[in-house]
A and B are shown apart, each in its own frame.
Chain A
């Protein structure tokens, strides 16, 4: 099932007055797509999910499933959740505490008046797929967090819905379990091919799971794309900093072209970047911007290798060992940079030079959101 969101807005009244949770969202999700809504808390991603489920009504705009309007602002069209054929997994799992796992999973089937004969095999089948068959007789209180989550997923999928919604389902699991379940979810979705919308604040989850990701902030979509696009070509500083860990470095700079190269003025120093950087600056000759480099695209060089102003000088600070590599904090004239370095880090206080990759420069003209 494909989904269209047109000019969707959601406002509600609170003690502080009118709050705009979502503003002019336009979105299309394809049939069978695993679509991720990514953003920090308060960005509106859960609200969007609730709108899709029918748990909230849009203040403006229209939602269409397979071309049919299911919700329109003003109340002309409204299809309530029971009739949308949507299934949802909540962050808290929301399992019915008084029912066994089996009954929890069977619940939507019983409510939907499925023929009794067909209920048991359907439940057992989905339980088998999620490897919880042996826990079917237990109550939620007797199950572990991971098992409860699988029951929640089973309950959602047992009726083979045309839309599968998940609201931060992995956030209550410990790190190890989270990583394992992530892979399983991806595999499951590929197998079933159900259109899925997944909400998370964890960019790693988003990148590994989604076909496409929408990054949201304060009720607006900052960028939509697949993992590669968002990582390599972030549209603005917010996306640049939000995606990828460790975070992208951003420095305020002024720049001017010099023939094939570009001369940058930043952190009180000058930097000359080779022609590979030139396309990032568009058609202009000079200007001001935010220059960004990911820590892996900065290279530390010891003193003494005097190159033609292709590096910045600074002082090394703390180094954090990450296992594979070190994250070195470098200070230059009040600005801070973080650099990923495979080899042993420089000592604290040592003078170092940081050479950025010209072709992996990100140029942003809008201010940091």
Chain B
């Protein structure tokens, strides 16, 4: 598997297979979103191109599509930002200050990320219910912070560990307090890594389903994944066109983000994984 010689035939075939595998369902999603009727593959009519699906989801208030989108963006953005901030502070402490039980903390956080969501959800529901927060943004933002925190921590720890300790020492000798070292030296140097982690945390939070399903009730706090999952037609006929339009509309920004920052995302993911 030398990385020098490209394109042997099996590799080319595998590459094409990769493209088809990854993009076919997505392509189907896009195609159906532009179709008047979802059964165009059956051969009766063929594909009638239309924009009415998009028009419907964007204009029909009762569909609440834009509400869901707004909720998702705000909730994911805020929780990702908080999680990354918390993780950055902790990662700094773990990689640079002497702390007893460092390994235990990292291991504990990793273990925490392995719990099945369903084992958290009933307690969270009761908690949010008791606070009267069901169907509000905080009800989702707070658990989401916990949800993306372990991943953020692992990735940031690996980034911070790569920043040489000599930089801290130099800053110390140059006259900085611990806080100044963090603000003037470590954070600027770690900024690209922090950004990558934020992207990943955002995507993770955005794609979350179960918590949102349980902790939100209607358009005031419901997120896109739940909105699209529960999207049912009125007359027993599932409005596939609209569902696909909503799906495309939602995922296009996320996919665009991914394509654009593909390098950073891959970097972040692999750090988190290799460290684990």
B-contacting residues of A (Cβ < 8 Å)?
A: 53-55, 80-82, 86-88, 90, 92, 94-98, 107-108, 111-112, 155
| CB pair A98 B166 closer than 8 Å | no
| CB pair A87 B173 closer than 8 Å | yes
Q: Which residues of chain B are near A107, meaning CB under 8 Å?
A: 171, 174, 184
Partner of B173 from the list A81, A95, A97 (CB cut-off 8 Å) is A81
| CB pair A81 B172 closer than 8 Å | yes
5 closest A-B pairs by CB: A94-B170, A94-B166, A108-B174, A82-B175, A111-B175
Closest to A161 in B: B173
With A82-B176, A96-B167, A96-B189 known, 20 other A-B pairs at CB within 8 A are A54-B173, A55-B172, A81-B172, A81-B175, A82-B172, A82-B174, A86-B173, A87-B173, A87-B174, A88-B169, A88-B170, A88-B173, A90-B170, A94-B164, A94-B166, A94-B169, A107-B184, A111-B175, A111-B184, A155-B174
Closest to A87 in B: B173
Known contacts A90-B166, A111-B180; is-contact A96 B173 (Cβ 8 Å): no
Taking the nearest CB of chain B, how far is it from the CB of A112, in angstroms?
5
Q: Which residues of chain A are near B129, meaning CB under 8 Å?
A: none
Taking the nearest CB of chain B, how far is it from the CB of A121, in angstroms?
19
Taking the nearest CB of chain A, how far is it from the CB of B258, in angstroms?
27
Check: B120 CB closer than 8 A to any chain A CB: no
Q: Which residues of chain A are near B108, meaning CB under 8 Å?
A: none
| CB pair A96 B166 closer than 8 Å | no
CA distance A55 to B177 in the complex (A): 13
Q: Which residues of chain A are near B171, meaning CB under 8 Å?
A: 96, 107, 111
Taking the nearest CB of chain A, how far is it from the CB of B160, in angstroms?
14
Check: B188 CB closer than 8 A to any chain A CB: yes
Total interface residues on B, CB under 8 Å, equals: 18
Check: B185 CB closer than 8 A to any chain A CB: yes
Q: Which residues of chain A are near B177, meaning CB under 8 Å?
A: 82
Residue among B164, B169, B191 facing the most chain A CB atoms (10 A cut-off): B169
Q: Which residues of chain B are near A97, meaning CB under 8 Å?
A: 189
| CB pair B180 A98 closer than 8 Å | no
CA distance A111 to B175 in the complex (A): 6
Residue among A53, A94, A111 facing the most chain B CB atoms (10 A cut-off): A94
Q: Which residues of chain B are near A95, meaning CB under 8 Å?
A: 170
CA distance A17 to B177 in the complex (A): 32
Closest to A152 in B: B170
Known contacts A88-B170, A90-B170; is-contact A96 B175 (Cβ 8 Å): no
Taking the nearest CB of chain A, how far is it from the CB of B170, in angstroms?
4
Which positions 177-208 of chain B face chain A at CB distance < 8 Å? 177, 180, 184-185, 188-189, 191
Taking the nearest CB of chain A, how far is it from the CB of B35, in angstroms?
51
Closest to B170 in A: A94
A-contacting residues of B (Cβ < 8 Å)?
A: 164, 166-167, 169-177, 180, 184-185, 188-189, 191
Taking the nearest CB of chain B, how far is it from the CB of A118, in angstroms?
16
Closest to A165 in B: B173
Taking the nearest CB of chain A, how far is it from the CB of B104, in angstroms?
17
Partner of B166 from the list A54, A92, A155 (CB cut-off 8 Å) is A92
| CB pair B169 A98 closer than 8 Å | no
Q: Which residues of chain B are near A112, meaning CB under 8 Å?
A: 175
Q: Which residues of chain A are near B170, meaning CB under 8 Å?
A: 88, 90, 94-96
Taking the nearest CB of chain B, how far is it from the CB of A27, in angstroms?
20
Q: Which residues of chain B are near A94, meaning CB under 8 Å?
A: 164, 166-167, 169-170
| CB pair A96 B172 closer than 8 Å | no
Taking the nearest CB of chain B, how far is it from the CB of A161, in angstroms?
9
Q: Which residues of chain B are near A88, meaning CB under 8 Å?
A: 169-170, 173
| CB pair B174 A111 closer than 8 Å | yes
Q: List 9 A-B contacts (CB under 8 A).
A: A54-B172, A81-B172, A81-B175, A88-B170, A90-B170, A92-B164, A92-B166, A98-B189, A111-B184
| CB pair B188 A98 closer than 8 Å | yes
Closest to B165 in A: A94
Q: Which residues of chain A are near B189, meaning CB under 8 Å?
A: 96-98
| CB pair A90 B172 closer than 8 Å | no
Closest to A80 in B: B172
Q: Which residues of chain A are near B164, meaning CB under 8 Å?
A: 92, 94
Closest to B187 in A: A98
Taking the nearest CB of chain B, how far is it from the CB of A185, in angstroms?
19
Taking the nearest CB of chain B, how far is it from the CB of A171, in angstroms?
14
CA distance A155 to B173 in the complex (A): 11
CA distance A54 to B176 in the complex (A): 13
Residue among A95, A98, A155 facing the most chain B CB atoms (10 A cut-off): A98
Residue among B169, B173, B176, B185 facing the most chain A CB atoms (10 A cut-off): B173
Q: Which residues of chain B are near A55, meaning CB under 8 Å?
A: 169, 172-173
Q: Which residues of chain A are near B173, meaning CB under 8 Å?
A: 53-55, 81-82, 86-88
Taking the nearest CB of chain A, how far is it from the CB of B178, in angstroms?
10
Closest to A97 in B: B189
CA distance A96 to B177 in the complex (A): 16
Q: Which residues of chain B are near A111, meaning CB under 8 Å?
A: 171, 174-176, 180, 184
Q: Which residues of chain B are near A155, meaning CB under 8 Å?
A: 174
CA distance A95 to B174 in the complex (A): 12
| CB pair A108 B166 closer than 8 Å | no
Q: Which residues of chain A are near B191, meaning CB under 8 Å?
A: 98
Taking the nearest CB of chain A, how far is it from the CB of B161, in angstroms?
16
| CB pair B188 A90 closer than 8 Å | no
CA distance A98 to B174 in the complex (A): 16
Q: Which residues of chain B are near A108, meaning CB under 8 Å?
A: 174-175
Taking the nearest CB of chain A, how far is it from the CB of B7, in angstroms?
34
Q: Which residues of chain B are near A53, meaning CB under 8 Å?
A: 169, 173
Q: Which residues of chain B are near A92, meaning CB under 8 Å?
A: 164, 166
